[in-house]
Amino acid sequence: MRIEKALIFASRMHKGEKNRGGEPYIFHSLRVMLAMDTPEKKIIALLHDVLEHTDCLPEELYDYGFSKKVVKGIESLTKPKEMSYEDYIDRIALHKEDIIRIKLADIKDNIAIINKSASLSEKDIKRLEKYINAYNQLEAILAKDTQGESEKKEEEKAQNK
């Protein structure tokens, strides 16, 4: 699946939608995508909000030609309406590194959008706190995983000597 096809799909799905800063929502999706390093991660990042923000269903993603891995990635990043944000972040934390990295890029861009505001409301401040806490939680998981991988490689080296 090509990134161009994902961009067309995401643009159609988010048509007319604006972010908190008043810009077209697709700009947020593009910035999240640009933080990724592989075509598959770029596609998932570009489409990360289509199930949550629009009436799009997973079946439509399959019908459009997106792979099972891409659709599952998008579903992983979709917060169920009935779930608290904290529980949602806890669920994201259980996923593989790629999903966590996409969510970190999403949170980072959301923080940047709020910080661009001329004045911050109490609601904006609470949202910033929520995002910063989530970012720190997910970043700590990646750091722990990275350290664990390094230790594992060191052990393997020692055993092979």
Per-residue pLDDT tens digits for 118-147: 889 999 999 999 999 999 999 999 998 765
User: Cα–Cα distance between 8 and 31 in angstroms, integer?
Assistant: 15
**Please, what CATH class does the domain formed by 3-160 belong to?**
mainly alpha
What the block records as the tokens of 65 is 């030609």
158 confidence band (pLDDT: 50, 70, 90) = low
> Taking the CA of residue 21 as centre, how many other CA atoms within 13 Å lie in the half-sphere pointing to its CB?
16
Q: End-to-end distance of the chain based on CA atoms, in angstroms?
A: 44
What is the model's pLDDT at position 81? 94
What is the model's pLDDT at position 159? 63
Positive or negative: CA dihedral 103, 74, 30, 50: negative
Question: Is residue 65 predicted with pLDDT exceeding 90?
Answer: yes
**Percentage of the chain lying above the pLDDT 90 cut:** 81
CA-CA-CA-CA dihedral for 84, 90, 96, 102, to nearest 10 = 50
Per-residue pLDDT tens digits for 85-103: 999 999 999 999 999 999 9
Domain boundaries, the chain: 3-160
